[in-house]
């Protein structure tokens, strides 16, 4: 991981794409509370930056901390740069930083192919076996359900069945139960993917 205060190139990108109007804090559930002029202004700026940022600049942001990675993932989602699919899958699985997993999930769900489902399933295979780690299990499940519904596939079946890893994880991590209804997770992913589509279609 690179730190912006130690790298001039990364610092310049943070100042350009990440921190204006505290963008990195709004990329997530906060988007759903925006209305009127604020929503329009934020959407327009995000769309314009998604078009302008170069692949090299995205790659550089993905080497930074959670703020940089979260922002980069949203810019990837809006510009639909599927060439970053594998990199986002790697970052999701590694879980090196907090607060970026939802952005990866929204992007992969928006891409919505069987390969994206594979990357999400790989995460669940690893982290549903770790009830001690309250990471991004819930939003990953929501993203996988979202892809299942769109593709007519059933990748979630091994996890959500009566003896699946999801139920085992809940039993061993009762502190997570109030946040782990798959329908709730799906609703969040669906609404954020709709924002991505709205942003992209306005180009």
Radius of gyration of the chain (CA): 17
Residue 154 has pLDDT above 70, yes or no: yes
Look at residue 118 and tell me whether its pLDDT is greater than 90.
yes
Give the pLDDT confidence of 158-201 residue by residue, as tens digits: 999 888 999 888 887 766 655 567 788 899 999 999 999 998 87
Predicted pLDDT of residue 147: 98
**Residues of the chain above pLDDT 70, percent:** 95
Average pLDDT along the chain = 92
* pLDDT for position 200: 83
pLDDT tops 70 at residue 36: yes
pLDDT tens per residue across span 66-95: 999 999 999 999 999 999 999 999 999 999
């Amino acid at each position: 991981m690179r730190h912006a205060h130690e790298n001039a190139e990364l610092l310049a990108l943070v100042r350009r794409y990440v921190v204006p109007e505290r963008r990195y804090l709004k990329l997530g559930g906060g988007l759903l509370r925006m209305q009127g002029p604020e929503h329009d202004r934020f959407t327009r700026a995000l769309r314009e930056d998604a078009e302008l940022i170069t692949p090299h600049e995205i790659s550089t942001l993905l080497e930074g901390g959670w703020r940089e990675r979260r922002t980069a993932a949203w810019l990837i989602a809006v510009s639909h740069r599927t060439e970053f699919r594998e990199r986002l899958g790697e970052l999701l699985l590694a879980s090196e930083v907090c607060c970026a997993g939802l952005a990866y999930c929204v992007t992969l769900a928006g891409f919505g192919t069987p390969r994206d489902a594979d990357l999400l399933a790989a995460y669940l295979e690893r982290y549903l076996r770790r009830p001690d780690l309250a990471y991004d299990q819930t939003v990953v499940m929501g993203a996988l359900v979202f892809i299942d519904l769109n593709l007519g596939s059933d990748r979630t079946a091994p996890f959500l069945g009566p003896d699946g890893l999801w139920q085992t994880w809940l039993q061993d991590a009762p502190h997570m139960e109030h946040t782990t209804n798959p329908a709730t997770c799906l609703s969040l992913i669906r609404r954020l993917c709709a924002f991505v589509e709205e942003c992209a279609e306005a180009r």
